[in-house]
């Protein structure tokens, strides 16, 4: 992977992030929650992306749109709900 194509997004003020998608093998709905996310790493055309949490654990999850994946999150009170 070319590190020049990786983009880091700070997740300032996010309490948790949750992903929901359809498992392509079983067809079951899968929900995955990450507490204390601090950074999101993406790459153009990627089918996954990475979230680093406050403990330094890296979570690899489907990119939004793949396998019907959606993302939800809870922001700290007073923070803007999204940052672009």
Q: Is residue 83 part of a domain?
A: no
Q: Report whether pLDDT(32) > 70.
A: yes
Q: Is residue 84 part of a domain?
A: no
Read off the pLDDT of residues 53-83 as tens digits, 9 standing for 90 and up.
Answer: 999 999 999 999 999 999 999 998 877 777 6
Q: By C-alpha distance, which of 19, 31, 33, 11 is closest to 81?
A: 11
Residue 26 is predicted with a pLDDT of 95
In the chain, the number of structural domains is: 1
Q: Is residue 82 part of a domain?
A: no
Q: Which residue range forms the structural domain that includes residue 41?
A: 3-75
Residue 6 three-state SS:
coil
CB-based contact 55:12 (threshold 8 Å): no
């Amino acid at each position: 992977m070319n590190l020049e194509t990786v983009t880091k997004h700070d997740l300032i003020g996010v309490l948790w992030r949750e992903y929901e998608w359809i498992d392509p093998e079983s067809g079951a709905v899968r929900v995955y929650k990450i507490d204390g996310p601090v950074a999101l790493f993406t790459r153009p055309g990627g089918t996954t992306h990475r979230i680093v949490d406050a403990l330094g654990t890296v979570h690899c999850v489907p990119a939004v749109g793949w396998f019907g994946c959606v993302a939800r999150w809870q922001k700290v009170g007073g923070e803007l709900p999204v940052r672009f």
